[in-house]
Amino acid sequence: MAPRLRQATAAGRSPSGAVNSNLPLASVTQIIMLGAMPAILSISNLSKTYATGFTALKSVDLEISKGEIFALLGPNGAGKTTLISIICGLTYPTTGTVTVDGFDIARDYRAARKQIGLVPQELKADAFETVRATVNLSRGLFGKPRDDARVEKVLRDLSLWDKRDSKIVTLSGGMKRRVMIAKALAHDPAVLFLDEPTAGVDVELRRDMWALVRQLREQGVTIILTTHYIEEAEEMADRVGVINRGELVLVEGKAELMRKLGKKQLTLQLQTPLNALPESLAAFPLELIKSGAELVYTYDVKQEHVGIADLIRRLGEAGVEFKDLQTHQSSLEDIFINLVNEPAQEISA
């Protein structure tokens, strides 16, 4: 093991392999990026074909590290729900294996399932039960003994303690979603699945949920997030997986993904609009927009020489003057759309 990797491992884990929750969030993320954390979830050659002949998953391989926030992105029908359902024991795979913290979901079903907390997109709870009672029930369903102190901590961490004796039917939508998370955490899982956790909630609550996810990660919980909100993955995830038509198209560190696939655009606001590009600029990937008032130069951030200095010089030689300029970096949403539209795209360093 390289010295740098060995240092990260020693600093970031306890002897049992758990995340050191005293580390700053940035340090935990760096350790995960170094590959020093052990895998909490291992998926090998996982496929699912239904009796109708429809193949929902095709030979999926994936490892997720302890303490990681992993975002799984994909359009509707891509296979996200099928993948989660298999891991959580709700659907049987056709081929392949899944282990959660070393427990096989088929051979060691009960032990594996105890490691998992699932927060479904739909709000499912007894509307006329109290918050505390429904969380206690969820803990008991996993064979855990009653622990009032643990339940109190979960409710306090989720800002639900003041609502502990309120019936769920009286809560707001945001509070009900917090109750679903409390139910999923009641049995102390190592892995938490959040299926569209901020669907249908307002912007303020969405940011509160982001803060909550980070807090859970700092406590050592591994978070696997499925979302349609690209900004959510861009804000929180350590790594991003893109699934499309049942295939895992890409798994990559978020920053590395944007470095590899990101494009930048340089937009020049011209002093005088152009009707057409001068012949001397034909070699550059340029586009005139806004009736010739702006010139857009698109370049690859991977390239060692992006050609901006040469472009500016050629513009001067051609007598094209500009009064302002700005740059735009591809977002994760841009990259996601490109990957989904071209699933066979080869990703190179």
Highest mean pLDDT among 6-10, 73-77, 99-103: 99-103
CATH of the domain at 111: 3.40.50.300
Highest mean pLDDT among 5-19, 62-76, 261-275: 62-76
CB 293 within 8 A of CB 304: no
Judgement on whether residues 274 and 335 belong to the same structural domain of the protein:
yes
Question: What is the structure's pLDDT at 333?
Answer: 64
Question: What is the structure's pLDDT at 15?
Answer: 36
SS3 assignment, position 93: coil
Question: What is the structure's pLDDT at 34?
Answer: 42
Q: Is the pLDDT of residue 306 over 70?
A: no
Nearest-10 crossing angle of helices 148-157, 131-141: 120
Mean pLDDT of the chain: 81
> Which among 235, 258, 281 is the end of a domain?
258
Question: What is the structure's pLDDT at 120?
Answer: 85
Which domain does 105 fall in, by range?
A: 3-115+189-258
Judgement on whether residues 240 and 273 belong to the same structural domain of the protein:
no
Alpha carbon distance 224, 192 (integer Å)? 6
Q: Is 1 exposed, middle or buried (0-12, 13-18, 19+ CB in 10 A)?
A: exposed
Question: What is the structure's pLDDT at 64?
Answer: 95
Q: Is 257 exposed, middle or buried (0-12, 13-18, 19+ CB in 10 A)?
A: buried
Judgement on whether residues 238 and 284 belong to the same structural domain of the protein:
no
Question: What is the structure's pLDDT at 340?
Answer: 66
- Where is 168: in which H helix or E strand? none
Specify if 122 maps to a domain. Answer: no
Q: Is the pLDDT of residue 301 over 70?
A: no
Judgement on whether residues 8 and 111 belong to the same structural domain of the protein:
yes
> Which among 224, 258, 292 is the end of a domain?
258
Alpha carbon distance 81, 72 (integer Å)? 10
Specify if 34 maps to a domain. Answer: yes
Judgement on whether residues 254 and 277 belong to the same structural domain of the protein:
no
Positions of E strands within the chain: 39-49, 55-65, 69-73, 95-100, 103-104, 116-119, 191-195, 222-226, 239-244, 247-253, 263-270, 286-289, 294-300, 322-329
Alpha carbon distance 335, 341 (integer Å)? 10
Specify if 267 maps to a domain. Answer: yes
Question: What is the structure's pLDDT at 212?
Answer: 81
Mean pLDDT calculated for residue range 288-317? 81
Question: What is the structure's pLDDT at 193?
Answer: 94
Render pLDDT for 132-183 as a digit per residue (tens, 0 to 9): 999 999 999 998 999 999 999 999 988 899 999 999 999 988 888 889 989 9
Judgement on whether residues 193 and 335 belong to the same structural domain of the protein:
no
> Which among 210, 238, 258 is the end of a domain?
258
What amino acid is encoded at 310 in this protein? Answer: D
Question: What is the structure's pLDDT at 24?
Answer: 44
Structural domains of the chain, count: 2
Q: Is the pLDDT of residue 186 over 90?
A: yes
Render pLDDT for 237-292 as a digit per residue (tens, 0 to 9): 899 898 888 999 888 887 777 666 667 788 999 989 998 988 888 888 888 998 88
- Tell me how long the chain is: 349
> What are 295's two structure tokens?
């010139």
pLDDT band per the 50, 70, 90 thresholds, residue 197: confident
The owner of tokens 């050609």 is 307
Judgement on whether residues 306 and 206 belong to the same structural domain of the protein:
no
Alpha carbon distance 38, 268 (integer Å)? 48
CB 45 within 8 A of CB 97: yes
Judgement on whether residues 194 and 336 belong to the same structural domain of the protein:
no
pLDDT band per the 50, 70, 90 thresholds, residue 20: very low
Judgement on whether residues 96 and 14 belong to the same structural domain of the protein:
yes
CA atoms within 13 A of residue 251's CA, in its CB half-sphere: 12
- The answer to whether the Cα torsion of 140, 143, 148, 154 is positive or negative is negative
Question: What is the structure's pLDDT at 329?
Answer: 65
pLDDT band per the 50, 70, 90 thresholds, residue 337: confident
Judgement on whether residues 232 and 268 belong to the same structural domain of the protein:
no
| Distances from the Cα of 142 to the Cα of 66, 106, 122, 132, angstroms | 22, 17, 21, 16
CB 47 within 8 A of CB 59: yes
Render pLDDT for 100-128 as a digit per residue (tens, 0 to 9): 999 999 999 999 999 999 988 777 778 89
Judgement on whether residues 229 and 333 belong to the same structural domain of the protein:
no
Judgement on whether residues 302 and 230 belong to the same structural domain of the protein:
no
Question: What would you report as the CA-atom Rg of the chain, rounded to the nearest whole angstrom?
Answer: 24
Specify if 221 maps to a domain. Answer: yes
Q: Is the pLDDT of residue 319 over 50?
A: yes
Question: What is the structure's pLDDT at 304?
Answer: 56
Alpha carbon distance 165, 160 (integer Å)? 10
Mean pLDDT calculated for residue range 11-17? 38
Render pLDDT for 282-295 as a digit per residue (tens, 0 to 9): 888 888 998 889 99
Alpha carbon distance 190, 205 (integer Å)? 25
